[in-house]
Chain A
Amino acid sequence: EAQVTQNPRYLITVTGKKLTVTCSQNMNHEYMSWYRQDPGLGLRQIYYSMNVEVTDKGDVPEGYKVSRKEKRNFPLILESPSPNQTSLYFCASGVMVNQPQHFGDGTRLSIL
């Protein structure tokens, strides 16, 4: 089954404790991206990757890191999480950016 898998689905943690949200897709897609969704603000792109080893900032990259060492994986890293990063996060992938994107089920992060 074609899918984008995010883990964990839910996480409650404390300020400053490094965390990683994993994202994996099995569709051989070139383009992958991360979004955060906050009430009234819609989906905002954090980082995107056009291909392996190629990543770039989206609209809200501050406080986040990513890596794309393999085509299928695109982890999101919060090195020192803060309460303003409490949000719902989605990973997505597509053949290219101008093709339909497939979204993971989302990760709800709470930073206390």
Chain B
Amino acid sequence: QKEVEQNSGPLSVPEGAIASLNCTYSDRGSQSFFWYRQYSGKSPELIMFIYSNGDKEDGRFTAQLNKASQYVSLLIRDSQPSDSATYLCAVIEGAQKLVFGQGTRLTINP
């Protein structure tokens, strides 16, 4: 059973619109949640992390966490072609392991 689930996409969004990326996780004890962006052929880079229920905003990015529903999302406002990448959700499970979802491929269309 997959521990961290993401829709693999591809998700296609017009430039300037809001891109919404979703992730569910199975470990109710998880406390730390991360979003990484990975361009093709490159290594993952951190976009945002969130530890508490609610929203966390950083520029055009907002992470949303709902622990009761075991759901974390990433919103990208005013999407740009440079946002086209694969977005990886990661969750700490068992206090020591970092588990990634399979990633959602996002394409922003000019």
Binds B, one of A63-71, A72-80, A93-101: A93-101
Q: Residue of B at shortest CB range from A4?
A: B43
- Contact pick for B101, options A42, A56, A59, A98, CB 8 Å: A42
Q: Is the CB of B43 within 8 A of A100?
A: no
Task: Please tell me if the beta carbons of A42 and B97 are within 8 angstroms of each other in the complex.
Answer: no
A-B contacts at CB below 8 angstroms, number: 55
Q: Is the CB of A42 within 8 A of B45?
A: no
Given contacts A42-B102, A43-B44, A90-B43, contact A100 B49 (CB under 8 A): yes
- B17 CB within 8 Å of chain A: no
Select which of A58, A100, A101 is within 8 A of B97 by beta carbon. Answer: A58
Contact, CB under 8 Å: B45 / A44: no
- Residues from 79 to 110 in B contacting A, C-beta threshold 8 Å: 88, 90, 92, 95-103
**Interchain CA distance A57-B102 in the complex, whole Å:** 20
Tell me the nearest residue of chain A to B92, going by C-beta. Answer: A98
Q: Closest residue to B45 on the A side, CB-wise?
A: A103
Distance from B99 Cβ to chain A, minimum over Cβ atoms (Å): 7
Closest to B95 in A: A97
Interface residues in B1-59 by Cβ distance below 8 A to A read 6, 8, 31-32, 34, 42-46, 49, 51
The answer to whether B88 touches A50, judged by C-beta atoms less than 8 angstroms apart, is no
A12 within 8 A of B: no
Listed in ascending order, the chain A residues whose CB lies under 8 Å from chain B are 33, 35, 40-45, 48, 50, 56, 58-59, 90, 97-98, 100-101, 103-106
Besides A43-B44, A97-B32, A98-B31, 8 other CB < 8 A contacts? A42-B88, A42-B101, A43-B103, A45-B98, A48-B98, A97-B96, A98-B32, A100-B34
Q: Which 9 A-B pairs have the closest CB atoms?
A: A42-B102, A103-B43, A43-B100, A98-B32, A100-B46, A42-B100, A42-B103, A103-B44, A98-B92
18 contacts between A and B (CB under 8 A): A40-B8, A42-B100, A43-B103, A45-B100, A48-B98, A59-B99, A97-B32, A97-B92, A97-B96, A97-B97, A98-B51, A100-B34, A100-B46, A100-B49, A101-B98, A104-B43, A105-B42, A106-B42
